[in-house]
Each structure stands twice: as structure tokens, then as C-alpha cells.
Amino acid sequence: MELITRTLLLGLALSLTNAAPAHQDEPAPKDGDAALPDRCEGIEFDAITLDESGKNPFFFKDGYLWNGFYGPAKPSTMFFKELDEHHHLGHVDAAFRMHDHIFLFLDDHVFSYYNHTLETGYPKTIQEVFRGVPTHLDAAVECPQGECITDSVLFFKGQDVYVYDIVTKTVKTKTRARLSPWARLPLCTSAFRWVEHYYCFHGHNFTRFNPISGVVNGTYPKDARNYFMNCKNFGHGGDHKAPKCSEVKLDAITTDDRGRIYLFTGLNYMRVDNRRNGLHAFPITRGWKEVTNGVDAVFSYTDKMYLIKDDQVYIYKTDAHYVLIEGYPKSLREELGIEGTVDAAFLCPNEHTVHILQGHRIRDVDLSATPRVINREIPLPLPDIDAGLCGNPCRRYDKRKKCFISRV
């Protein structure tokens, strides 16, 4: 069992922003580049998608694109040379990435790229590949199972959102009617999925939305130049630096049943299993809206996530989005049979016992029992643990207690 202590430096550079990481300011165009578009001037993107690696975004505008959050525009044909044959169309209408493929939509055609190469048989008409989806799209964004009910793609055109089910190849239409949950979402000229968050871009602004309900929470729109690019006098600019590992205090860590690894620090959390997208922190309330003051401990059990703060336990269903179970929060005593505050908690895979760390003691609670009570206590020689996670299997020891202590 592997424990992470308060003295162990977290070897991750947290980017405590709400969207993109900060780098240097956008370089000024050189003399020969005067005709290149400058996204720091506040332009409206035609399409946005991640590259095939899922790490860097492509921002499309007319016949150009930006590769990443900083750097100058380049001709889109440098990356997608086959677009040259259709360059008269002027720009990419929409784009998305799914299963390491990039799909680009131009007029009534779709291009599919894999390993930087146009796939055989493409371009095809949109109806050949995505039957029921209209032509001349405004935007598109992928929504994998776990974030949507099934693997899906959201296509935007005018007032309508076409939700295409990848598995059944069927389409459901959502309309921005006045009383619809989608009504607050502006007309999107591009859409983008970034670290489980969904953004509708319009003008040089963006609005974050729920891909299932269309609901917009928070204060929007926001200027994209403050978050998704590095422009002088906008956002963090080139002076922002991520905090050092030694400046970060880890409050909790857990892995849910889908393999998603979450770190919690202060009022923020981050995913670390999808680090190829970069490490980015978001407010805890964005994923678990009822938990407003941070967490003391977190653990996962049978498709549920337990978040502990002070003497309260919040239990969330692990669905497409985390949903608080009715009747919660409850007290630690009522839910787990323990008193006081919790330093850390963790549960090993395929086990029913949660290990609760409190000061100099480890208290075990069998989650399969009713009522839940402490069924074992072990002295802890290293107090004030901040977070715990079950790691490699124990070596062979004659006593489990000795094994446990040897791994601290």
C-alpha cells in the first residue's frame, strides 16, 4: 500500500487555471508574415479539435490553423495536404477527434485522417458516414461514453444540435427553443472538448456547457484570449508560472472504477490518468457542485465516490457525470461509524475495507457490513498523512500489520 505524505513533493506542475496552460506570449508576426491572421486580435475560429495524439489543439481559421495554445498561424495544408484540392471552399466548417482519428468537414464532405494520413476512400459525403447529419455545419465536438450516455458526436447547425450515436448510427435533434435547456447556449461557430469540459466558441468568446443537457452554469461568455491562447495583456500572459511541487499540498487522491485518477488540492482537482492532454486544475464544484469548501479525504467504492469534508460524507454516483445520492451529505458517524476528522482514506481494488487515517491511527471499516463500524485499528508511526492510494501488492510478511507498516 502506497501512502503519499505531506512531506512528499508532488511531482506534477499544476496549472491552476480554468482552461489552457500558460506559455510565452504570442510572437509578433515577422515582416513577411503580415498577411497571417493573428488570434490575439480577437478572431472567430471556424473549427477546433485535438490532434491525433490528443495533446495539442488545432484552431482553424480560413486556410490557416494554429497548432497548440501558442505560436503563429500556418497554412492548414501543411498538416492536411489533401485540403489543397478543396481549397476553393475557403475554410473547414467543423472538426472533431475520436479514437485517434480526426474528422474535418468541408461543405458536404468529410475527411478522415489517421496517423497524419487521409484514410482510403475519403473524402466522402457526410451522408455516407454520418447519415442524418446536415451539410454546411457550424461546429462539431466528440462526446465519449462516460461523459455522454454512449459514444456520440454533437453537430451544430443554426438553432439545432444533432446528437449522433456512434454505436446505433442514429440522430437525435435538440433545438434551442426559448424554454429549452439549450436556449442559453449561443450559436457555436466551433466547439471543443478539453479535459472532460465542453466549450462553444462564438466570436472571440466561449461558453462552457453540459453536453447532455445543454445547461450553461457559471458566468459566460468569456474571452478566449484569457484562457485558450497567450496574448499580451490577456489572461496570465507570459508572466504566469505554475507553482512548484513544494508549494502544493495534496488533500486527497483516488481512482474510480473507470480508472480515472483524481488529485484534490485546495478548492481544485485534476485528472492525471489523461495527462497527454496536459495537467490542468478545475474547481471541485465543477464536478461535485455540493462540495464547496474542498475535501479532507476521498475514496471510491462500487461505482460511487465518497468525498469527506469535516464530519460530513458526500456520496456520488459515478455516471456520465457525478450525481449526489439523495439524502446526502450524512455525518461520518452515521455513514462510516467513526468520530472526528479524517486525514486520508483509501480502498484497494476488489476489496470492501476502507482504510481511514486519523492522526496516529488507521481505522478499517467494512463497507459491505450493516451497520458500518470500525473492525480493526492499527498504530500509524507516521502521523498527519495528507492522502493515500493503494499501490503495488504487499510483499510476503508473517503479519499483515508488519506488511502494512513496511509500505508506509
Phi, psi of 378, rounded to the nearest 5 degrees? -130, 135
Contact partners, residue 385, CB within 8 Å, separation at least 6: 3, 4, 5, 6, 343, 344, 357
Residue 30 has pLDDT above 60, yes or no: no
Strand partners, 141: 154
Mean pLDDT of all residues belonging to the chain? 83
- Model confidence at 322, pLDDT cuts 50, 70, 90, reads confident
Domains parsed from the chain with CATH numbers: 2-14+242-406 (2.110.10.10), 31-237 (2.110.10.10)
Report pLDDT for 24.
44
CA–centroid distance for 354 within its chain: 27
Instruction: Return the C-alpha cell found at 286.
Output: 465543477
Quick one: average pLDDT of 347-368?
Answer: 93
Report pLDDT for 196.
84
Cis status of the peptide bond prior to 75, with omega within 30 of 0: no
Quick one: average pLDDT of 133-156?
Answer: 95
Residue 145 or 190, more confident: 190
> How does strand 109-114 pair with strand 117-118?
antiparallel
Which of 173-182, 235-244, 269-278, 380-389 shows the lowest per-residue confidence on average (mean pLDDT)?
Answer: 235-244
DSSP single-letter state for residue 287: H
Residue 384 or 299, more confident: 299
Tens digit of each residue's pLDDT (9 = 90 or more) over 69-102: 888 999 988 888 887 775 555 689 999 999 889 9
